[in-house]
Structure 1
Amino acid sequence: MNTFAKTYQDIILNLPHPEPPGKRIRPAAVSFLLTPDKAPRLLAIQKAAHPSYTWAGQVALPGGHVDPEDPDTKHTALRELEEELGISSDKVDMIGSLGHFMTLNNVCIEVLAGWWQGTGPLRHDPSEIDRVMDIPLHILMESHLASGFSGRDPDWTELRYPIKDAVIWGATARIIHHFMECLLSTGNPPRPS
């Protein structure tokens, strides 16, 4: 065996290699909560603008990583909702999952969708969350259609939903894109009230 072949064999047999995706992927859960109004609104948060934080200023859905004590992702989503915004589980009617979405840093987010009455005071830690956003669904649909996202799967770099003084991007934009396409498939997209 020549030197290159030996080196090649040693690399394959003796050096560590990436684990299968199941071991590298971190599970998370978020809440996709709409108000049951005639003109539904989506509950979102804008993360605090810490200079060293990769996702600083990002618009996201409330949620977080699955803890070992969490019996399931629904529990994770509800626990995070209470921790981040002070919304207790009795104020939310979870309907089911909108599926799983991967982030660029190997987090697999399960999106739990439900209704929130949109009432009661919200509380959040300003060191983690700059603001809570109440986004009219019809505004997201208008942006979806105007950007030409309908009927196609835009690249991560293109997929953006501008909302007043913020922009929704990344996994949150991918989730919204999926939901907008689902709404369009029903033939009943949201409209302003």
Structure 2
Amino acid sequence: MSELRRSLKAVLADQGAGSSDFDLNPDLALPSERRLRPAGVLVAISLVEDAPRVILTKRSSALKHHPGQIAFPGGKVDEGDVDVTAAALREAWEEIGLPKELPEVIGLLPSHETVTSFQVTPVVALLHEPFDIRPEAGEVAEVFSVPLSHVLDPDNYIVTSRSWRGTRRHYYTVPFGPYYIWGATARMLRNLAGALQQ
């Protein structure tokens, strides 16, 4: 695990250009006056099993925004949060019951702009101990994990498309078993895979 920590620290220290939900759609013009709200998500890599696994959530189907989608624990930066890392840790506690002191924060991935006007910063952390998973009622339908090796393999990513606001929008997917991981979550995982491949 020390090798994984060293690799992560090396790539996270080299902050490259960020990504967006639109970077596979170069013909799409974004409004220059758009205002992006800062948010943080926790890319928690659990080391308590035989092989590292990434913790993800399935959002409740009753939610107004992104119902049923796969996401990292996280959310917008609130007034009481000192930075995106604090926001990601707070949201992980609220959404899945992950104690704030448990993750070993390694660093940040470049930020990602979403179609919902958030500037999301992925906070990468290692978990060395198990915890009692407690999905937030009404918001999180399920907490699950996928092998880190699966999301680090670029061959597991597929670019697909769907109609969005009258245009064809392309995006990454990285399916795993019954879970359809796509959009911003897949894009941020693809960024991590790309960084560690270099």
TM tier relative to shorter chain:
0.7 to 0.9
User: Which letter does structure 1 place at the counterpart of 2:194?
Assistant: E
Would you say 1:106 and 2:117 are equivalent positions? yes
User: Which letter does structure 1 place at the counterpart of 2:188?
Assistant: I
Aligned to 1:163: 176
Counterpart secondary structure, 1:164:
coil
Q: 2:60 aligns with which of 43, 48, 51?
A: 48
CA-atom RMSD, angstroms?
A: 2.2
Would you say 1:69 and 2:80 are equivalent positions? yes
Task: Quote the offset at 1:180 in angstroms.
Answer: 1.1
Aligned to 1:60: 71
Deviations 1:49-76 (A, max 9, x none): 12x6231111100000100121111111
Q: 1:106 to 1:158 in 2, by over 3 A?
A: closer
> Retained in 1: the 8 A contact 2:152–2:189?
no
Aligned to 1:7: none
Normalising to structure 1: TM-score of the pair?
0.74
> Retained in 2: the 8 A contact 1:156–1:170?
no
Would you say 1:140 and 2:151 are equivalent positions? yes
1:172-187 mapped onto 2 (5 Å cutoff) = 172-185=185-198
Any stretches of 5+ residues in structure 1 without a counterpart?
1-17, 150-154, 186-193
Choose between structure 1 and 2: higher helix proportion: 1
Q: 1:138 to 1:66 in 2, by over 3 A?
A: same
Structure 1 CA distance, aligned partners of 2:81 and 2:131? 26
Aligned positions, number = 159
Q: 1:145 to 1:53 in 2, by over 3 A?
A: same
1:76-87 mapped onto 2 (5 Å cutoff) = 76-87=87-98
Q: 1:39 aligns with which of 34, 43, 51?
A: 51
Identity %: 28
Task: Quote the offset at 1:168 in angstroms.
Answer: 0.8
Structure 2 CA distance, aligned partners of 1:41 and 1:164? 14
> Retained in 1: the 8 A contact 2:58–2:141?
yes
Counterpart secondary structure, 1:167:
coil
Q: Highest Rg: 1 or 2?
A: 1
Normalising to structure 2: TM-score of the pair?
0.73
Structure 2 CA distance, aligned partners of 1:109 and 1:87? 20
Aligned to 1:6: none
User: Which letter does structure 1 place at the counterpart of 2:55?
Assistant: L
Aligned to 1:189: none
